């Protein structure tokens, strides 16, 4: 089945989400790889046996807060679920919140299916206020002055019980956005920019 038809039938059902799908595919969706994965297919098929919805779980390592939220269901993004996730992914230094790019959630959703897991993502950094980012950039030359974290388009994560290298490999296989590998700090960076990768 053509990948676009697959998404039309099983993942999106209205104009709003179809628009999101087009942006998502344009960003470099490696869904052919996802559908070809022996681990991914059973989990996707299992999800389609019930009313389709997308859930994600997070633990903010700085605040100790966690959430498991449905952020998409019945053909649309769920405001309550999005707000719950945005709260946990806020700038822990300032308390500032930001609307995280829904495409980033979709990357994470595909990633968990690629890995065949429902484990919560351990979050090192998600949204950063411009003030926080400026301070970090002063302290560390590796922090971009116009980081995608300041636009709600990036997240730094790890998965408990999973090798960081496996997380990176799975993320690269999606061919979506940026994938940064930071083994010395024990996290993988993901963002919704152009497909690229760095670190090693």
95-113 confidence digits (pLDDT tens): 999 999 999 999 999 999 9
Pick the more confident residue, 11 or 3: 11
Give the model's pLDDT for residue 159: 97
Average pLDDT value for residue range 190-196: 97
Residue 73 scores a pLDDT above 50? yes
Cβ 180 vs Cβ 189: under 8 Å: yes
Would you list the domain boundaries of the chain?
A: 3-198
pLDDT confidence bin for 172, thresholds 50/70/90: very high
Give the global pTM. Answer: 0.76
Question: d(Cα 106, Cα 10) in Å, to the nearest integer?
Answer: 14
In this structure, whether the domain defined by 3-198 belongs to CATH 3.30.1380.10 is answered with yes
Q: At what angle do helices 40-48 and 102-115 cross, to 10 degrees?
A: 120
Question: d(Cα 149, Cα 155) in Å, to the nearest integer?
Answer: 7
Average pLDDT value for residue range 67-84: 97
Residue 167 scores a pLDDT above 60? yes
Strands 121-125 and 53-60: parallel
Give the model's pLDDT for residue 46: 54
Pick the more confident residue, 157 or 1: 157
Alpha helices in the chain (DSSP H): 3-10, 15-26, 31-36, 40-48, 79-88, 102-115, 130-139, 164-174
Tell me 50's DSSP state. S
User: pLDDT tens across 43-55, in order?
Assistant: 545 544 555 899 9
Q: How far apart, in Å, are the Cα atoms of 138 and each of 1, 69, 134, 188, 191?
A: 50, 35, 6, 22, 22
Counting residues of the chain whose pLDDT is more than 70, the rounded percentage is: 74
Question: d(Cα 52, Cα 12) in Å, to the nearest integer?
Answer: 10
Give residues with Cβ within 8 angstroms of 59, minimum separation 6: 65, 66, 120, 121, 122, 123
């Amino acid at each position: 089945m053509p990948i676009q038809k697959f998404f039309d039938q099983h993942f999106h059902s209205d104009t709003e989400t179809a628009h999101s799908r087009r942006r998502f595919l344009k960003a470099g969706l490696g869904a052919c790889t996802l559908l070809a994965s022996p681990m991914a297919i059973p989990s996707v098929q299992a999800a389609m046996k019930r009313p389709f919805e997308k859930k994600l779980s997070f633990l903010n390592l700085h605040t100790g807060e966690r959430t498991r939220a449905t952020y998409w269901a019945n053909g649309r993004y769920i405001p309550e679920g999005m707000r719950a996730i945005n709260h946990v992914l806020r700038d822990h230094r300032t308390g500032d919140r930001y609307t995280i790019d829904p495409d980033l959630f979709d990357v994470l959703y595909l990633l968990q299916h690629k890995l065949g897991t429902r484990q919560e993502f351990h979050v090192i950094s998600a949204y950063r206020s411009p003030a926080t980012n400026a301070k970090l950039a002063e302290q560390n030359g590796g922090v971009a002055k116009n980081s995608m974290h300041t636009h709600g388009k990036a997240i730094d994560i790890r998965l408990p019980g999973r090798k960081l290298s496996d997380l990176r490999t799975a993320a690269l296989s999606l061919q979506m956005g940026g994938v940064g590998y930071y083994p010395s700090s024990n996290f993988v960076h993901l963002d919704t920019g152009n497909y690229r990768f760095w670190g090693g």
